[in-house]
Homo-oligomer: A and B are copies of this chain.
Amino acid sequence: MGAERTESVERALSILTAFSIRRPRMTLAELAAETGLHKSTILRLTRSLAVYGFIDRDTEGRFSVGASIWHLGLIFRQDFDTGETIRPVLRELVQLTGETASFFVRAGSDRVCLYRENSPILEKYGVEEGMRLRLGTGASGLVLRRYSGEVLPDLTPFNANGTVSLDATRNPNIASISTPVFSSTGAFRGALTVSGLNSRFTASVRDRFLADVEASARKLGQQMG
């Protein structure tokens, strides 16, 4: 039977995803350690990545992400949403709840925070726009997994609208409520999430927030082609 996937391509992509905000430049040996690939393999793959401008190499031989990625990133953003749609909704949600509002999409087995509006009263707690996190078992992770086609063994965290409300997932002090956003054509676009210190998420407050998030998600979905 023909291969379902392509090994060398996935290895090349694992090289790309080895880079992070904290480590934007790596030597060959570092990349090998990070990816578990043989150095010769990395050399071969990065040569091809470099030809297409997906990876650069400086004079000291260190690798970094190439400009083609940036160009493609802009294509992604303009196709997905320029921010003109999502950001106002997030801001409104912050006003309504006083908490932090974010919009996540799935990227492979991770989730990426596309947009985020921070609560005015709460200092940031680690998540920023563009950040990449494991899907995990948090509220937004569950939403992303369910509505991007995964079959989950347990659907009890979800209410009838597909919303998940959880305490203390990624961060032990943080509660979050996440709901799916569907475009007007019914396609799943991402997870709209409100999160904050769980000390403020009492039962009644939580109910109000949940309604707010679901209302915002509906509104947002209408605006997304």
Contact = CB atoms under 8 A, between A and B. Distances in A.
Contact of A5 (B16, B48, B186): B48
Contact of A73 (B12, B48, B72, B80): B72
Nearest to A54: B13
Contact of A4 (B2, B4, B10, B44): B44
Contact of A76 (B51, B65, B79): B65
Which of A50, A65, A106 has the most B CB atoms < 10 Å from its CB?
Answer: A65
A67 B129 CA distance: 12
B3 A44 contact: yes
Contacts of A80: 64, 67
Which of A5, A6, A49, A114 has the most B CB atoms < 10 Å from its CB?
Answer: A6
A207 to B, nearest CB: 31
Contact of A58 (B58, B69, B187): B187
B8 A8 contact: yes
A98 interface: no
A112 interface: yes
B73 A69 contact: yes
A122 interface: no
10 contacts: A3-B44, A9-B12, A12-B12, A16-B72, A17-B72, A53-B110, A66-B76, A68-B108, A71-B132, A73-B74
